[in-house]
């Protein structure tokens, strides 16, 4: 404990022999205060654990959870998206989200991206999207802006659930 603050300190201690004429006559030590290092390591581990937990939540969702940039290019694609739309992450990451949008709904996607750029969200828009096989599916979409550390909108997160599945839940 620190005498001034009462907080616990973390020390790294190294011992070494003190020799005189070949005989060990004592023990020396070097102590370094590593409290700040230890706190930083623990904080980093907490963030890493949280990131792993959030990734597990996203990956285990039955709903499609998709990240895209402001140009509509897919940046992330979970297994729920693969189930709903039939495309693997390898097929979709780097591809335009318009691949999923029927031609008569392209303006809708453009409006969604425009709103995202302005910081607006879309809440439970019931619409139609296309699967890899070309089958049309009724989906409910929620899209939200993704912001960087300075608060600038840099992309969108989109959750799309198959409407018949959602009604059965």
C-alpha angle 7-8-11 in degrees, rounded to nearest 5: 140
Residue 3: predicted pLDDT: 54
Q: Token pair of 120, please?
A: 């607006």
Residue 64 CA, chain-centre distance (Å), reads: 14
- What's the mean pLDDT when you consider all of the chain? 89
Residues forming a β-bridge with 145: 156
Residue 82: predicted pLDDT: 95
Whole-number percent of the chain with pLDDT over 70:
93
pLDDT higher at 99 or 31: 99
Rounded Cα distance between 130 and 100, Å, is 5
Residue 151 CA, chain-centre distance (Å), reads: 16
Residue 34: predicted pLDDT: 87
Q: Which CATH architecture has domain 62-168?
A: 2-Layer Sandwich (3.30)
Mean pLDDT along residues 89-99: 97
Residue 165: predicted pLDDT: 54
- Residue 83, H or E segment: helix 79-85
Mean pLDDT along residues 160-167: 70
Residue 164: predicted pLDDT: 64
**Minimal CA–CA distance to 82: which of 92, 69, 95?**
92
Which residue ranges make up each domain of the chain?
11-54, 62-168
Rounded Cα distance between 93 and 26, Å, is 64
- Residue 54, H or E segment: helix 35-60
Residue 1: predicted pLDDT: 47
Range with lowest mean pLDDT among 13-22, 53-62, 110-119: 53-62
pLDDT higher at 40 or 4: 40
pLDDT digits (tens, 9 = 90+) for 125-162: 999 999 999 999 999 999 999 999 999 999 999 999 88
């Amino acid at each position: 404990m620190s005498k001034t603050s009462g907080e616990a300190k973390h020390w790294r201690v190294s011992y070494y022999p003190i020799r005189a004429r070949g005989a060990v006559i004592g023990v020396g030590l070097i102590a370094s205060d590593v409290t700040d290092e230890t706190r930083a390591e623990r904080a980093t581990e907490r963030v890493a654990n949280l990131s792993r937990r959030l990734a597990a939540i996203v990956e285990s969702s039955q709903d499609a959870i998709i990240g895209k940039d402001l140009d509509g290019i897919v940046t992330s694609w979970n297994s729920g998206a693969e189930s709903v739309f039939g495309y693997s992450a390898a097929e979709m990451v780097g591809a335009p989200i318009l691949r999923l949008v029927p031609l008569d709904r392209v303006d809708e996607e453009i409006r969604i991206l425009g709103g995202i750029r302005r910081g607006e969200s879309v809440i439970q828009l019931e619409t139609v999207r296309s699967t890899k096989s070309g089958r049309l599916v009724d989906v409910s979409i929620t899209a939200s802006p993704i912001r960087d550390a300075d608060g600038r909108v840099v992309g969108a997160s989109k959750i799309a659930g198959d409407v018949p599945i959602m009604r059965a839940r």
